[in-house]
Amino acid sequence: MRCWTDREGHPTLYSMPSDILSRLFLAAVCLAPLVALAVDMARSRYKPTQYVCWTLARLLTRLRWGAQTIGQFPIPDGRGAIIVCNHRSSIDPFFVQTSLFRKAHWMVAKEYVEHPALSWFLKHICECIPANRRGIDTASTKMAIRYAAQGELVGMLPEGRINRSEEFMLAARPGAAMVALKAGVPLVPCYIEGSPYAGTMASPFFMTANTRVYFGQPIETSDYAARADEGGLAEEITLRALRAMADLAGHPDFQPQLAGRKWSPLVEREEEERGDEELRG
């Protein structure tokens, strides 16, 4: 190969062997995705460990369950909101979370957050809000209000338990609307279509699916500021959110129902199990 030199006799770039140039180009190509990921992680609100976990979760939901997000999340970064969605699977929050590009704090039953096998992931990666499913949990409600008021997202499942019935949605409680009103943030209806579930928490991981996540227009609680002291306002907003979720699902005629004040998902589950035992007996 002809060697080109400058006036002082030093070899120039043109004298470098072609294999070295090829290696430099290959190194640049390999490093480019890593640099892009590092920049994206630096811009995100995730901690490094959270970023890695949610990136892997996003790949899993896309590749395993064909998850897609229809439309964009309607709340800008930096503004708080309460997300409410239907509940058909143990992994519903993952479909919503991986459709966002910011962190959401989900209210999760305390027994799961404190479970030895799940505690680290739910507390430190998901930063979930542990909730007592027997009645009103003042501590978890205050935590949700604080997160939302500080510009964070909070995810809530108004049905309170997985819907295994043929009804579009079970009776819901107005807790999410109450939190949104107290925090002064919008309520965002969300509908998850086709989430996999076969009766156990781990069952979705052995199933395939074709899941879609739909976000509706936010319900601005500021529009109700003049009626803040009215009784039944949270219930009214909850029914509006449930109807919006039904519209996203293509069920405009659905008539949502509210659960009674003394309703508890654990008590209802116990009653269902007793009924099943009586039928088997």
Q: Provide, rounded to the nearest whole percent, the portion of the chain with pLDDT above 90.
A: 59
- How confident is the prediction for the chain on average, in pLDDT? 84
pLDDT of residue 281: 44
| In a shared domain, residues 2 and 104 | no
Query: What residues contact residue 215 under an 8 Å CB cut-off, 6+ apart?
Result: 69, 70, 71, 72, 73, 74, 99, 188, 189, 190
| In a shared domain, residues 255 and 192 | yes
Has residue 102 got a pLDDT over 70? yes
| In a shared domain, residues 138 and 257 | yes
pLDDT of residue 37: 61
Q: Which of 102, 99, 93 is nearest to 150 (CA)?
A: 102
| In a shared domain, residues 184 and 220 | yes
Q: How confident is the model at residue 1 (pLDDT cuts 50, 70, 90)?
A: very low
Q: How confident is the model at residue 43 (pLDDT cuts 50, 70, 90)?
A: low
Tell me how far the alpha carbon of residue 139 is from its chain's centroid: 21
Quote the tokens at residue 245. 């979720």
| In a shared domain, residues 36 and 70 | no
Q: How confident is the model at residue 273 (pLDDT cuts 50, 70, 90)?
A: very low
Query: In terms of C-beta density within 10 A (0-12 exposed, 13-18 middle, 19 or more buried), how is residue 17 classed?
Result: exposed
Distance CA 61, CA 91 (A): 10
pLDDT of residue 47: 83
Has residue 11 got a pLDDT over 60? no
How many structural domains comprise the chain?
Answer: 2
pLDDT digit string, tens, across residues 14-28: 445 566 777 776 776
Helix (H, G, I), strand (E, B) or coil at 219: strand
| In a shared domain, residues 27 and 57 | no
pLDDT of residue 50: 87
pLDDT of residue 51: 86
Tell me the CATH number at 215: 3.40.1130.10
| In a shared domain, residues 33 and 109 | no
| In a shared domain, residues 62 and 148 | yes
pLDDT of residue 18: 63
Mean pLDDT, residues 106-127 taken together: 90
Sign of CA dihedral 90, 91, 95, 100: positive
| In a shared domain, residues 173 and 102 | yes
pLDDT of residue 177: 96
Q: How confident is the model at residue 248 (pLDDT cuts 50, 70, 90)?
A: very high
Domain that holds residue 233: 47-280
| In a shared domain, residues 145 and 272 | yes
| In a shared domain, residues 52 and 135 | yes
| Least reliable range by pLDDT among 1-15, 152-166, 185-199, 233-247 | 1-15
pLDDT digit string, tens, across residues 192-234: 999 999 999 899 999 999 999 999 999 999 999 888 888 899 9
Which amino acid, residue 5? T
Whether 153 contacts 105, CB under 8 Å: yes
Mean pLDDT, residues 67-88 taken together: 95
Per the listing, tokens 């976000």 go with 215
pLDDT of residue 230: 83
Has residue 39 got a pLDDT over 70? no
| In a shared domain, residues 21 and 78 | no
Sign of CA dihedral 143, 146, 149, 153: negative
Has residue 116 got a pLDDT over 80? yes
Mean pLDDT, residues 249-272 taken together: 71
pLDDT of residue 23: 73
Which amino acid, residue 171? A
